[in-house]
């Protein structure tokens, strides 16, 4: 009798524990909130893919384009405004194709018929804006005059493209003759010989009205040149 009563009590205790356990698990604390399904956005994924592919393509084109080389004209001698661009003043260089409008080497013969619009320094890559079909210096009414000058009659460092005053300097046999300015500004067309001999040979461009006087005084050694500061 005692054994059955003890067994009954043990069974009821076990049932009570199971009920308590099930009640605890089924309480409000054990209930989870429903999670909505994740919304997929195919349009955004496609846009991201296009951006990635576009960036890769742009980078590839940039690398390929930077490897393209073109022949351009580089000026090797200083050329003053109005002076012709001679073939010996042009050299061929290979540059990257950056889209800048440099004059191609294949057009060098056409360039040789043009004149400098501005002063072009050695090492400059030529563009169309630097040249003109007509010279503002070699126009009707202008004359090129060659001078054979002595030491002291030519400014040191004179270069083609410079602008100079042409001065009459009377010789010792001229008595009381006074010096004067024959032309206030003349363009230096060349200095020395084509072979590079730095003698006193200078070619200038002057008005036709004064060219006979300049030539006459030059033949008697009574011409001097004064370089104009800031000109050329």
pLDDT tens digits, residue range 118-163? 889 999 999 999 998 876 666 778 899 999 998 889 988 888 788 8
- Asked, for residue 146, whether it belongs to a domain, the answer is yes
Structural domain span for residue 202: 142-227
- Strands 223-227 and 163-168, by their bridges, are antiparallel
Per-residue confidence (pLDDT) for residue 208, from 0 to 100: 92
Residue 98 CB coordination number (10 Å): 10
165 and 187 in one domain? yes
Per-residue confidence band for 8, with pLDDT thresholds at 50, 70 and 90:
low
Q: Is residue 25 over pLDDT 50?
A: no
pLDDT tens digits, residue range 33-81? 555 555 556 676 776 777 777 777 776 666 555 557 789 999 998 888 7
199 and 153 in one domain? yes
Any idea what the CATH number is for the domain that residue 81 is in?
3.90.1210.10
Q: Is residue 112 over pLDDT 50?
A: yes
- Asked, for residue 48, whether it belongs to a domain, the answer is no
Per-residue confidence band for 3, with pLDDT thresholds at 50, 70 and 90:
very low
Cα 146 from Cα 157, distance rounded (Å): 18
Which residues are CB-contacts of 227 (< 8 A; sequence separation ≥ 6)?
155, 158, 162, 163, 164
149 and 99 in one domain? no
- Average pLDDT (179-189) is 91
SS3 for 22-41 is HHHHCCHHHCCCCCCCCCCC
Mean model confidence pLDDT for the chain: 78
């Amino acid at each position: 009798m005692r054994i059955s009563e003890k067994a009954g009590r043990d069974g009821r205790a076990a049932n009570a524990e199971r009920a308590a356990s099930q009640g605890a698990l089924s309480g409000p604390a054990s209930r989870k909130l429903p999670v909505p399904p994740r919304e997929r956005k195919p349009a955004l994924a496609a846009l991201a893919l296009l951006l990635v592919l576009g960036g890769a393509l742009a980078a590839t084109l940039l690398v390929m384009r930077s490897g393209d080389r073109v022949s351009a004209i580089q000026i090797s001698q200083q050329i003053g405004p109005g002076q012709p661009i001679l073939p010996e003043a042009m050299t061929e260089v290979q540059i990257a194709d950056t889209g800048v409008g440099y004059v191609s080497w294949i057009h060098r013969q056409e360039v040789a018929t043009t004149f400098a619009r501005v002063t072009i320094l050695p090492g400059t890559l030529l563009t169309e804006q630097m040249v003109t079909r007509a010279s503002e210096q070699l126009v009707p009414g202008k004359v090129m005059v060659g001078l054979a000058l002595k030491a002291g009659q030519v400014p040191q460092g004179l270069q083609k493209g410079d602008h100079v005053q042409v001065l009459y300097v009377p010789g010792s046999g001229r008595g009381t003759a006074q010096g004067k300015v024959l032309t206030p500004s003349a363009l230096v067309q060349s200095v020395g010989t084509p072979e590079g001999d730095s003698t006193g040979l200078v070619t200038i461009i002057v008005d036709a009205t004064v060219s006979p006087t300049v030539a006459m005084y030059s033949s008697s050694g009574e011409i001097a040149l004064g370089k104009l500061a800031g000109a050329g």
